[in-house]
Structure 1
Amino acid sequence: MSRIYLDWNATAPLRAEAKAAMLAAMEVVGNPSSVHAEGRAAKALRERARGQIAAALGAEGADIVFTSGATEAAALACAGRGLVCAEVEHDAVSAWCDTTLQVEPSGRVIVPDPGRAAVQLANSETGIVQDLPEGVVVSDLTQGFGKLPFAFNWLGCQMGLVSAHKLGGPKGIGALVLRQGLEIAPQMRGGGQEMGRRAGTENLIGIAGFAAAAEAAMRDLANGVWEEVAEIRNILDSALSALNFETISVGNDARRLPNTLCLIAPGWKGETQVMAMDLAGFAISAGSACSSGKVRASRTLKAMGFDETRAGQAIRLSIGPGVTREEVLRFAEAWGRDYARIRSRKT
């Protein structure tokens, strides 16, 4: 049988629209900073893509600064600002902040002073969605972009982080979204590209793919595709619960991303589950992909009140458009069979 990919929050498969746009961009010879005709053509492509991404984000009038991904965007947004965040934030954000904000057992972050805070829109491990308080300085929009209906201009945050490969674009391209007129200190200096905020010749091929993926993602959202994904996720959740293994489905009582399920299996380490399911033909995760290879309990789950043992027994299942009912039921059957074996050895 063919493998089944259930790790969309780590990276989504490349969209056909993005691939086509990237192939077309490869034919554009010029450097966007050059003043000749070829350079002007490259610049036009870049600016058209910037407008497409702004429209998809609901960020008309904001500044879109292209970066190598959300991690670089986080550094650009957070460095030197003395921000605070919670332990549920992605490492790319928490590396620049004091992790002093408290998290309720529901996964909701308590934000007493939004003007000093970085607060994610949605968590990559649990899928739990935050209600962003007005005036938040930075919000990691990466997981929500393309899956949730929102507009940057309505969120009330000053800066947002996004990454193309989470919504079916290429890897290695992302953006920082800025309220117009907001000043930031560049981390990369040189030729003054991106309005002086991020030097270096822009990744025109990646930018073109990002814009095409963003437009396609907005069409999917408008057409109810992610509502269908949520139905498949719920079928998976029900099938796993029906196995009666005393598992814990994290965030079921909270607003979640439509595609994400975080499951704790008592007595079975998360990384062992990932390896077992890989051998069985399924790609899943035991936390953020950026932490792969680091055997540690989930900081997110520990912040929500789970102890070290339980936090180390979690897996993340994340699906997307095209994943079928039959595929998730195949996973539930294979996972349940292996877990039953593990449990029988402990009795």
Structure 2
Amino acid sequence: MILSSAVGAEDTALLVDTIRAAVGRADPADGRSERVYRDGPLDHDLWSVLGREIGVGALAVPETHGGLGTSYATVAAVLETLGAELTRVPVLGSVVAATALARCAEHPLARDLLEEIASGTRIVATVVPGDDLDTPGVGTFRAVDGGEGVTLTGRAEFVLDAAVADTVLVHAVDRYGSLGFYAVDGTHLTVESMQTTDATRGLARVHAENVPATLLTDRPDPGRVRDQALVALACDSLGVARACLDAAVAYAKERVQFGRVIGEFQAIKHMLAEVAVAVELADSSVAHAIWAVEEGTDRDLAEAAAIAALACGDAADLATATNVQVHGGIGFTWEHTAHLYYRRALGSSVLWGSADDHAQRLYLLATDSARSDDAPNPDRLREPASALFAPEA
């Protein structure tokens, strides 16, 4: 688990234990598969406890707007815990929305949304921007400023929590090609729930046709919104990977075959060792990403987010597949939770970009950095030629 090494680590550990206890009462592992397919991707009872009583939505909200203003290490620890438990609550989406709204908190509506996210009374979804929004003038949604206000037209797919959201946040461009960050009331949108591999996470198609919207800021930073969303998703995937590693190790210690526990077989040892290495690498990548969120530059965050997305996605893929394999026949049954973890890993691996997308971003960042390092020093070029051959003193 990612815990801050600074003051507050004990409080974070206590919060994590409280969340685990609440999940254990409201959504225990026994019977979880049945509840997932019966009740859908939102556990209303658990969200009432976590969102309103414990206040997990307030973690990423600044203290000045009704939140707790905790460190991102605490936010990461909570996301990891909720990922490990496959909780069906809109915390991941709330963290993404809160971090985006905090950058335009001077707007009255943004302040109101932050306060309601913190209190757990409003679910806010975000259409996480992709690479096509890095250049102003290109985007899926279009904004028109008419005589009666701004309206939006456009569509998006795989929008997290959109089917249950009260408000949806969207980046859109106006007729001049300027990019803005808008809030849209969910009742004005056409939202269609999507049937995806991961039944524990609600994704939807969103369609807007000249719907009223509120401009929160005309100077958004879509790249940072996307990168912080990737970091939050990486924390969730790390929790999935660690939970599956622990489950596979525990089962390997108790399952007896041919008169020996299967954990003694070399093949099982090697499989679990590979997963353990992958989980440790993922843990390190998340620790670096936390630093980048709190203290790094935008470039630091872009690199750290891509690395974390790659490392945690790979760890979750390997851990969930290995967990099914170690459990053998029981791991393939519908009643066991192993397939739910496997499906969560599959969905997360492509939610806001594939592994190839993240690797390509890292390559571009690295080549851009190399070109910058190789660029001639202008101060050096302005020196007279005689200075290059001046005798040493």
**Looking at both structures, which has the greater relative contact order when contacts are Cα pairs under 8 Å and sequence separation is at least 6?**
1
- Tell me the TM-score normalized by structure 1: 0.25
- Tell me the TM-score normalized by structure 2: 0.23
Identify the structure with the greater helix proportion: 2
Larger Rg: 2
